[in-house]
Amino acid sequence: MGLWKDLVDKGYFVANANADDWTDAGDKVARGDAAMTLMGTWITGYWNGIDLKPETDYNFFEFPQITEGLPNAVVGPVDGFVISANAANPEGAEKFLNFVVSDTGIQTKWASSRGALSANVGIDPSIYTPVMQKAAKAVADADAFVFNYDLSTPPPVAEVGLSMFSRFMDDPSKVDAILDQTAEDTKKAFTE
């Protein structure tokens, strides 16, 4: 948190960051009011939609490594299909899912329409924009893929962490008190 506080104190973040949702942040970058935003690949769909050109008007770089030696992991959500536990025909559903994931034609259409990366690494990367190709390479080269923090932990625990960072951005001077409160809230959330 010390590094984050250092960055905030040096004025590297826009004022009232908590007041912006991800499209507001994207708009600020698009207008040049902010240099960069930390966001998932879906923002490329938003920027393309407001006529920004990949590589010319926006680009991408991986979040820098802070602690040396840690595995290089990619973080992200997964938009996918699931089979109900009470499905009437689970074998048929599984065959369908295998088909949807394996067929590169379908996956190409799916990824293009979603503005996302296909889970099938066998599809032709030329369907992606140059920026998305960089993202695809980052995923392919990563040591691990993990879900977003708020997706990989129980909701009460996720809320503690997300709230903690928002509180920090609201008033970085209270970082120690915020961390103490977070430790207490986390303990309580894990035991609920």
Under the rule (CB under 8 A), what is the footprint of other proteins?
Answer: 15-16, 18-19, 155-156, 159, 163, 166-167, 170
Q: Using CA atoms, how far apart are residues 174 and 184, in angstroms rounded to an integer?
A: 16
67: left (phi over 0), alpha (psi -120 to 50) or beta: beta
For residue 117, what are its two tokens? Answer: 């990366």
Q: How far is the CB of 125 from other proteins (least distance, A)?
A: 37
For residue 189, what are its two tokens? Answer: 């959330």
Q: How far is the CB of 166 from other proteins (least distance, A)?
A: 6
Q: 74 - beta bridge partners?
A: 145
Select 60 or 168, whichever has its Cβ closest to other proteins: 168
Select 28 or 134, whichever has its Cβ closest to other proteins: 28
Q: How far is the CB of 113 from other proteins (least distance, A)?
A: 28
**Cβ 122 vs Cβ 104: under 8 Å:** yes
Select 57 or 159, whichever has its Cβ closest to other proteins: 159
Select 27 or 103, whichever has its Cβ closest to other proteins: 27
The C-alpha torsion from 5 through 10 and 14 to 17, rounded to 10°, is: 10
Q: How far is the CB of 90 from other proteins (least distance, A)?
A: 17
